[in-house]
Amino acid sequence: MQKYVIEREISGAGKMTPEELRMISQKSCAALEKLGQGIQWVESFVTENKVYCVYYAKDKEIIKAHAQCGGFPVNRIEKVITMINPVTANEPEQVSTLINPVTTN
């Protein structure tokens, strides 16, 4: 599976209560259970008016199916090509073994 970042425009997302966020999480998990294998929710980041979600998925279509099943907006889906972090700033020979395409089985 590939790693994806999903952008969801949700007005007032940052003002949602813990209970509202719990309900959305439960709705997402129920949709994932219906879809079965091929998609895994990793985490989400809530900002003022958007939610950025990280998923492992077999393709963009299953992400769209999850959104439809759960009633979530999907404004953008981007496949993660690679990841960088502070270690990336190290010597090139150290970095070459640390930077890999982002995939999972």
Q: How far apart are CA 76 and CA 105, in angstroms?
A: 24
Return the SS3 of 11.
Answer: coil
Q: Model-level pTM greater than 0.85?
A: no
Q: Both ends of the chain: CA-CA distance in Å? A: 6
Q: What are phi and psi of 100, to 5 degrees?
A: -135, 155
DSSP lists the bridge partners of residue 77 as 6
Which domains, from first to last, does the chain contain? 2-80 (3.30.70.3090)
DSSP lists the bridge partners of residue 2 as 57, 103
| Region of residue 71 (phi > 0: left; psi between -120 and 50: alpha; otherwise: beta) | left
| Predicted local distance difference test score (pLDDT) of residue 89 | 83
Counting as low any pLDDT under 70, the low residues of the chain are 91-105
Residue 73 contacts by C-beta under 8 Å, 6 or more apart in sequence? 8, 9, 10, 67
| Predicted local distance difference test score (pLDDT) of residue 88 | 82
Q: Quick one: which of 10, 6, 8, 22 has its CA closest to 55?
A: 6
**DSSP at 13:** G
List pLDDT tens digits, range 3-15: 999 999 999 999 9
